[in-house]
């Protein structure tokens, strides 16, 4: 199968983040088994989803992990001109959900796998395919831990193929999503001075978060990112039953997108300390007043790969690019770095096409991605 045929097959699996993915895993296993490659599953607790990893080449230190995710985002409510789960060539583009984000990279290294098998590799190449990346990079930590435990040798670094127009990406912001729930006292709105409105108190917490972001914007800058500071954003806000009823409950969801030099745990700890102060003040008025913040999904670490790191120099050599860039979105690269594998992002396609209707990857990007993997094989042989 050539790269376009493999991409067409991958796109045909309509597996969204959060859904079982065993159908695509079974196809990947069969494809690799036909090449004589032994694969290993890493299940979720319910065994409804699995990541997959394998090694091609000798069991020696210094290999590279090629990694990508198997899930995609929904298409419901989007105005597609083609069937999103049938790869459709139109002119110099290939349309389909996941064609860019990020099944194109998977297709690139899968299409070169037969060459890897026939080549006398001096260093190993590992494939690592995860689940549930699109809902918070859920599957990658267990996959990374499994790779560390399974192989006696140690891979040197990881190449994550998120769409970057094949430009090397050495930095990403970390992210976490939180839900804060405020419990106040219900009552008639005329008693606003005698009761504790959950909505009013939640609104004050939102303002505290915005002020914290403004403080970070003054004190901690990294000009490689846009915006060049850690951001804090409240995306949902829910509470109350009527305009003349004091709300006894209000909740809001928010995220932190953190530059590498800042610390998500420190920001969360400062917010928690502020919440405890507010509780102490307002419990004199309403003893059951409570503010609770829970993780909506765990922190995804930032990526901050050095310009002179071995993986950076390798990808610069393969791509011929002297330009390094950063991205504001979160990806599994930060998790690989946190897990002990220095990482870089570099993949075919434009991130501007991701998550939208009529997603596409340009054919020249896809085929040049294959060339980069072929250069890697030559480098390792």
pLDDT in tens, 345-376: 999 999 999 999 999 999 999 999 999 999 99
Model confidence over 206-218: pLDDT tens digits? 999 999 999 999 9
pTM for the model stands at: 0.91
pLDDT at 328 exceeding the cut of 90: no
pLDDT at 308 exceeding the cut of 90: yes
pLDDT at 329 exceeding the cut of 90: no
Contact 359, 100 (CB under 8 A): yes
pLDDT at 247: 98
Phi, psi torsion values for 41, nearest 5 degrees:
-90, 150
Model confidence over 38-81: pLDDT tens digits? 999 999 999 999 999 999 999 999 999 999 999 999 999 999 99
Model confidence over 255-281: pLDDT tens digits? 999 999 999 999 999 999 999 999 999
Give helix 103-118 / helix 363-379 axis angle, nearest 10°.
Answer: 40
Model confidence over 118-158: pLDDT tens digits? 999 999 999 999 999 999 999 999 999 999 999 999 999 99
Output the average pLDDT for the chain.
97
pLDDT at 178 exceeding the cut of 90: yes
DSSP secondary structure letter of residue 102: T
Q: Using CA of residue 321, residue 326, residue 332, residue 333, what is the dihedral sign? A: positive
Average pLDDT over residues 298-320: 96
| Banded pLDDT at 330 (limits 50, 70, 90) | confident
Model confidence over 30-47: pLDDT tens digits? 999 999 999 999 999 999
- Cα 1 to Cα 22: distance, rounded to the nearest angstrom: 21
| H or E element in which residue 236 lies | strand 231-239
Enumerate domains of the chain plus CATH numbers.
3-172+302-379 (3.40.630.10), 174-299 (3.30.70.360)
Average pLDDT over residues 153-170: 98
From residue 381, alpha-carbon distances to 55, 119, 274, 311 in Å are 15, 7, 57, 17
pLDDT at 133: 96
């Amino acid at each position: 199968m050539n790269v376009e045929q493999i991409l067409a097959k991958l796109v045909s699996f309509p597996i969204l983040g959060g859904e079982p993915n065993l159908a695509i895993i079974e196809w990947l296993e069969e494809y690799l088994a036909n090449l004589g490659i032994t694969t290993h599953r890493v299940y979720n607790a319910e065994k409804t989803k699995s990541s997959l990893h394998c090694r091609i080449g000798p069991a020696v230190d210094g290999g590279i992990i090629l990694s990508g995710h198997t899930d995609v985002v929904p298409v419901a409510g989007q105005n597609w001109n083609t069937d999103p789960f049938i790869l459709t060539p139109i002119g110099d583009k290939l349309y389909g959900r996941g064609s860019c984000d990020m099944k194109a990279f998977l297709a690139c290294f899968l299409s070169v796998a037969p060459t890897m098998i026939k080549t006398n590799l001096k260093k190993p190449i590992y494939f690592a395919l995860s689940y549930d990346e699109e809902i918070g990079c859920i599957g990658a930590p267990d996959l990374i831990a499994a790779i560390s435990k399974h192989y006696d040798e140690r891979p040197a670094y990881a190449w994550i193929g998120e769409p970057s127009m094949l430009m090397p990406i050495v930095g990403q912001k970390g992210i976490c999503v939180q839900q804060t729930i405020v419990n106040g006292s219900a009552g008639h709105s005329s008693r606003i001075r005698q009761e504790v409105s959950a909505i009013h108190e939640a609104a004050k917490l939102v303002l505290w978060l915005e002020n914290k972001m403004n403080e970070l914007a003054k004190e901690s800058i990294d000009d490689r990112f846009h915006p060049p500071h850690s951001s804090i954003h409240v995306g949902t806000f829910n509470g109350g039953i009527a305009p003349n009823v004091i709300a006894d409950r209000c909740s809001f969801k928010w995220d932190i997108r953190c530059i590498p030099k800042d610390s998500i745990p420190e920001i969360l700890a400062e917010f928690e300390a502020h919440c405890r102060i507010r509780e102490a003040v307002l419990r004199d008025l309403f003893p059951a007043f409570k503010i609770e913040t829970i993780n909506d999904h765990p922190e995804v670490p930032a990526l901050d790969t050095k310009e002179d790191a071995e993986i950076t120099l390798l990808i610069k050599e393969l791509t011929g690019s002297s330009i390094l860039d950063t991205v504001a979105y979160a990806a599994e690269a930060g998790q690989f770095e946190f897990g002990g594998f220095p990482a870089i992002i570099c993949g075919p396609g434009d991130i501007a096409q991701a998550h939208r209707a009529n997603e596409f990857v340009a054919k020249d990007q896809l085929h040049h991605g294959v060339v980069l993997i072929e250069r890697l094989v030559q480098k390792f042989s």
